[in-house]
Amino acid sequence: KMVYFCRCGRVALFQISWTDKNHGRRFYCCHLGKAPGACEFFRWHDDQMPEKTRRVISGLLRKVNTYEKERVRSKWIIVVLVVYIIRTWFRDST
């Protein structure tokens, strides 16, 4: 990994983009990021991915996020059902 210095004279941060357009691309930026007073230094670490690759990665990430939300939702449904069954069982056994 290269070491770059931003215009502020400090070592630039090494980051990974999570935007749809540049998902997974690595870059260097000012150590202050987008904060006020940042020098706006920016340099890509790697070559741009082909458009098809970016679309595939974005689509896969959306699917992963959807499945993760569904997993969490299903987990809560199971908890609610277990509580309901236990309460019903205790109510009927008394």
Give residue limits of the domains in the chain.
13-93
What is the model's pLDDT at position 11?
A: 92
Higher pLDDT, 46 or 7: 7
To which H or E segment does residue 15 belong? strand 13-16
Give the pair of three-digit tokens for residue 9: 């004279």
What's the CA gap between 26 and 65, in Å, rounded?
A: 22
Q: What is the C-alpha separation between 54 and 59, in angstroms, rounded?
A: 9
Of 14, 18, 20, 22, the closest CA to residue 42 belongs to 14
Are 43 and 28 a contacting pair, CB within 8 Å?
yes
Render pLDDT for 40-88 as a digit per residue (tens, 0 to 9): 899 999 777 778 887 888 889 899 999 999 999 999 999 999 999 999 9
